Amino acid sequence: MLTNKPKTLWMAGVALALAAGTAPAAEPAAGGKPADPIQQMMQNYKPELKQKIMKLTPEMRATVKKLHDGHTRKSQQLTLRQIMHEILSDYQSIAAGIATDNAEQAADSARRLANHRIPKGGLFPYFPLEMVNDADMGVLPTMNEAVEGSALKLAEAAEKGDMATAAARLSDIMTGCVACHQKFRASPPGASNLLLKK
């Protein structure tokens, strides 16, 4: 069972690594879209989740909206867990591309990972309900920069033929995966509640 201490250390580590990184989180210019996708998704949320979202600050809702808007592929069927498995496949494909000096495979797979699908109903329903609050959701941009920001940097490095830098970015991506899992995902995954000893 993990204590809070290593979690906190991980988070601090990621924040530091990112602060020391090259580019700050880019702000993609949003072209005034008419419908608010979060409002639309909320129509399908149970009241307890809606209440949590209503309590988020407008800034936090805007941040999460930006994370959703940054992804062009929105699934009507898939759960976050299914998408995570797809992300893992993309990650493995990046590694294969780097290992075999196939810059094109590495770059394409990295861009695919960065533009992963958004699950049915958006991200909120897949986080533990008690973590849908400003403080916990506030780490999402950092996680996003670690995973998707590093993936885009990896793609650029691979395209320049700089496979050593691409390999280093691969480890930055995994640092983001691990940090987010330590914070938001039950551990170990798939634990049985039919065992006497956990």
Q: Which residues bind ligand HEC (CB under 6 A)?
A: 80-81, 84-85, 87-88, 91, 126, 140, 143, 147, 173, 176-177, 180-181, 184-185, 189
Please say whether the dihedral angle defined by the alpha carbons of residues 120, 122, 125 and 128, taken in this order, is positive or negative: positive
CB 171, min distance to ligand HEC, A: 11
Nearer to ligand HEC, 107 or 147 (CB): 147
Closer to ligand HEC at the Cβ: 91 or 124?
A: 91
CB of 81 to ligand HEC, least distance (A): 4
Structure letter (DSSP) for residue 187:
S
CA distance 116 to 119: 9
Q: Which is nearer to ligand HEC, 19 or 196 (CB)?
A: 19
Task: Kindly state the smallest distance separating residue 32's Cβ from ligand HEC, in Å.
Answer: 27
What CA–CA distance (Å, rounded) separates 76 from 82?
12
* Torsion sign, CA atoms 122, 128, 134, 136: negative
